Amino acid sequence: MKPSVLIIGAGIGGIAAAARLAKNGYAVTVVEKNEQPGGRCGQLIHEGHRFDIGPTLFLMPEVWEETFAALGERMSDHLDLRRIDPTYKVHFEDGLQITLTSNLGAMQAQLEKIEKTAFSGFLHFIAEGSRHYKISLEKFVGRNFYSLWEYFSPSNLPLLFQLKALVKHYDNVGRYFQDPRLRAAFTFQNMYLGLSPYEAPATYSLLQYTELAEGVWYPIGGMYAAIQALTRIAEKLGVRFLYSSEVTQIDLGSDRVESIRLKDGSTLQADLYIANADLPYVYKELLRDAQAKRKFDRMLYTCSTLMFYWGVDKPYPQIALHNVFLSGDYKSSFERIFKDHTLPDAPSFYVHAPVRVDPSAAPPGQETLFILVPVGHLDEERPQNWDELVQRAREAVLSRLAKEMDAADLAQHIKFEVVYTAQDWKQRFNLDKGAAFGLSHNFWQVGYFRPHNRHKRYRNLYFVGASTHPGTGLPIVLLSARLTTERIQREIGSLLPQASSSLASTLTA
């Protein structure tokens, strides 16, 4: 008889973990609050316009390849990937534009116009990012830590210093570039993780390396095409998905989870449980753990985002696939987001125009625009006026697009607008504080110090997702799914003492 697994949440981590376990002989059911899989990597379709709700960058393709291969599939059979180069256009308030590209000649020409030694600095910066990427993936991000000793082992300790885990990213970039605009151009990527470059570890220079060396990709059909592909594979492997089925409580025994309770009052039981819902939400609301609540309330969270999904009845071909507009007062903008938990006076923002690569994202002759504006997460002590913040953000975006992208008439051509605020992230996806990227990533919230992927007391309860080890970002959550399922495989014998030795050996083979 197959051991049974219940997974709470059909985010990408829950889907990947479900498929991996089904491939290894488990009977898996995934219970999802919403009507479709994907979680933050969901999809919105309205009047022929298709939007990815959250992530729009397909990064670290080798991690995706490994996931498909572990499920007995080839990624190329499921996804039509296009490499995007140049990766971005970065716009500064003073009119400077930098086109980030893997073309070294083009980078040299741009950088040396700004700062004579900048190209040499760039090469050293990317080389450092390459080291950080390879060490992180092999020694820290891509493995489980079962004890503090493993994390601070004699072989790992020197690597933490090589990774500059205690050095701030913005300060470290100053070793390579003097011009503040270049420092901004090579640190804004921290916002992928919902972090401030003034607080993020210098380890995250690996982000710039993976973009320019490993590539930024786009799957035709949008990022949701990857969710659909993994869901189809999971279903083919026997995974059962239950949608519109909100879990309201995890029922506990002395040292094991006994069942999960749904909003309609019914209960479901299994041998093992995996929570893919936001980890602080699981501890606070589903486990109702008062001690854990106090702990999570003391932890640092990532920022939230204001999202604008615009269906536009006119094309704007001058808007590239990926565009970043940076604030002139770079440091102050992050202080407003992370310390004041609000919208900067002059916000930075990101614009995604998928029609540049994928015409199916909008009706013919029209435009689908996705705008992300970083903002502070929910603050109970200083509640924000979200209507006012949305209005200010919208005006700031339209103003800069009019001025810098020759789009003065854009507002008149927006057919419809869908807006997400921190309140929506919390309500739709149960994200604590509406923090769009989950828990933050400072030295004390990564590696062994990050919440572990198995509950300390309830030993048949595991976790997968952005707020557990190893962290946030789609490819990193895919790694989370691998690490959690590897841990289950390692521990299955003790979790199912009633199982025969032959069953345990079959599952761990």
3-state secondary structure 429-482: HCCHHHCCCCECCCHHHCHHHCCCCECCCCCCEEECCCCCCCCCCHHHHHHHHH
Please enumerate in sequence order all residues whose Cβ is within 8 A of that of 470, keeping only pairs 6 or more positions apart, or say none. Answer: 140, 141, 142, 446, 447, 450, 476, 479, 480, 483
pLDDT exceeds 60 at position 503: no
Confidence at residue 1, expressed as pLDDT on a 0 to 100 scale: 78
Confidence at residue 439, expressed as pLDDT on a 0 to 100 scale: 96
Q: Which amino acid is at 278?
A: D
pLDDT exceeds 90 at position 40: yes
Confidence at residue 432, expressed as pLDDT on a 0 to 100 scale: 97
pLDDT exceeds 70 at position 402: yes
73-97: pLDDT as tens digits: 999 999 999 999 999 999 999 999 9
pLDDT exceeds 80 at position 494: no
- Binned at pLDDT 50, 70 and 90, residue 495 comes out as confident
Confidence at residue 508, expressed as pLDDT on a 0 to 100 scale: 52
- Binned at pLDDT 50, 70 and 90, residue 193 comes out as confident
Percent of the chain with pLDDT over 90: 93
Mean per-residue pLDDT, 28-57:
97
Mean per-residue pLDDT, 492-501:
62
Q: Which of 20-34, 92-106, 125-139, 191-205 has the lowest mean pLDDT?
A: 191-205
Confidence at residue 191, expressed as pLDDT on a 0 to 100 scale: 85
Confidence at residue 77, expressed as pLDDT on a 0 to 100 scale: 98
Please state, rounded to an integer, the average pLDDT across all residues of the chain.
95
Mean per-residue pLDDT, 29-54:
97
Mean per-residue pLDDT, 358-382:
97
Three-class SS of residue 70? Answer: helix
- Binned at pLDDT 50, 70 and 90, residue 500 comes out as very low
- φ/ψ of 399, rounded to 5, equals -65, -45
pLDDT exceeds 50 at position 368: yes
Confidence at residue 497, expressed as pLDDT on a 0 to 100 scale: 55
Confidence at residue 502, expressed as pLDDT on a 0 to 100 scale: 42
- DSSP alpha helix (H) spans, 304-346: 330-338
Percent of the chain with pLDDT over 70: 97
What are the CA-CA distances from residue 93 to residues 319, 400, 440 (Å)? 16, 8, 28
Confidence at residue 507, expressed as pLDDT on a 0 to 100 scale: 55
What are the CA-CA distances from residue 188 to residues 194, 325, 406 (Å)? 10, 10, 24
pLDDT exceeds 70 at position 204: yes
277-313: pLDDT as tens digits: 999 999 999 999 999 999 999 999 999 999 999 999 9
- Binned at pLDDT 50, 70 and 90, residue 275 comes out as very high
Confidence at residue 48, expressed as pLDDT on a 0 to 100 scale: 98
206-245: pLDDT as tens digits: 999 999 889 999 999 999 999 999 999 999 999 999 999 9
- DSSP alpha helix (H) spans, 191-347: 206-209, 224-236, 279-281, 290-298, 330-338
Rounded CA-CA distance 464/188 in Å is 27
What are the CA-CA distances from residue 391 to residues 251, 350, 376 (Å)? 43, 17, 15
Mean per-residue pLDDT, 266-285:
97
Mean per-residue pLDDT, 115-125:
97
Q: Which helix (H) or strand (E) holds 489?
A: helix 474-495
Mean per-residue pLDDT, 356-368:
98
pTM: 0.95
